[in-house]
Amino acid sequence: MFYSVEHAANPGVANFGDAFYYVVVTVSTVGFGDIIPVTAAGRWVTVAAILTGIIVIPWQAGKIVKEWRSREKVAVTCPNCGLSHHDADASHCKACGHVIYQEFDSRQ
């Protein structure tokens, strides 16, 4: 999008590579300043890219951390309260104390 709104008016954006470089440098908050938007549409695209980066990157990082933390959990759902992903050595639900049954003995 940045290329399509800036290439005609901005001498710093000669090809798609220049536009891609600008967006990566801007979203990563490095901001060298060698390419700057000269049109209002270019500024709006830049703002949208920055806001998208602020929202998407932490959201994806949170999903990755959540998966890393649940790797050691067992996908057993408590029939009483519905809590899932218990510790591998759990015999009772942490939320309600109900006995949960697992297919395998986690001590092996």
User: Chain-wide mean pLDDT for the chain?
Assistant: 85
What pLDDT band is residue 77 in, cutting at 50, 70 and 90? confident
- Cα 100 to chain centroid distance, Å, stands at 33
Q: Where are the alpha helices (DSSP H) in the chain?
A: 2-6, 16-27, 40-70
Tens of pLDDT along 33-73? 888 999 999 999 999 999 988 898 899 999 898 878 767 77
- Contact between residue 53 and residue 23 where contact means Cβ atoms under 8 Å apart: no
Domain boundaries, the chain: 2-70, 72-108
Cα–Cα distance between 38 and 94 in angstroms, integer?
A: 57
What pLDDT band is residue 13 in, cutting at 50, 70 and 90? very high
State the CATH architecture for 2-70: Orthogonal Bundle (1.10)
What pLDDT band is residue 82 in, cutting at 50, 70 and 90? confident
Tens of pLDDT along 18-36? 999 999 998 887 878 888 9
